[in-house]
């Protein structure tokens, strides 16, 4: 999980599942509970392909843009491992990163 506070003072929590991608929800501080009773998560990284194989988000604070880092694919498979890190940049709020899939907006930083 990764947390952040945006320029307007709103707190956000990013979380992931290997099978369903990375999502973000606005939370209240200091409790960490969702800001509304039944929030609709904002998708940050979703490959739209099964298995989704996305995990491990981290959100870097902006200099000019927020950056979302995520890990894709499989590890512990010897020479067939395909694990890599992708970087997603947003021109504004980290939640703006929800607008496209990983395949058209992420770039492998290293392998």
pLDDT range class, residue 109, cuts 50, 70, 90: very low
Per-residue model confidence (pLDDT) at position 56: 79
Per-residue model confidence (pLDDT) at position 101: 32
Per-residue model confidence (pLDDT) at position 96: 42
| Token pair recorded at residue 44 | 């940050």
- Give the domain ranges of the chain: 2-110
Per-residue model confidence (pLDDT) at position 106: 36
Q: E strands within 18-60?
A: 21-27, 42-45, 54-60
Pairing status of strand 11-17 against strand 107-110: unpaired
Phi, psi of 9 (to 5 degrees): 85, 10
pLDDT in tens, 70-91: 888 888 888 888 888 888 777 6
């Amino acid at each position: 999980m990764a947390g952040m506070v945006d320029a307007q003072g709103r707190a956000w929590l990013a979380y992931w599942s290997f099978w369903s991608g990375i999502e973000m929800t606005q939370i209240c501080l200091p409790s960490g509970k969702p800001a509304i009773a039944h929030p609709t998560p904002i998708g940050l990284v979703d490959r739209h392909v099964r298995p989704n194989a996305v995990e491990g988000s981290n959100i870097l604070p902006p200099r000019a843009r927020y950056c979302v880092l995520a890990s894709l694919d499989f590890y512990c498979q010897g020479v067939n491992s395909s694990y890599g890190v992708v970087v997603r940049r947003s021109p504004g709020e980290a939640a703006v990163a929800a607008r496209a899939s990983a395949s058209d907006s992420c770039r492998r930083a290293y392998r």
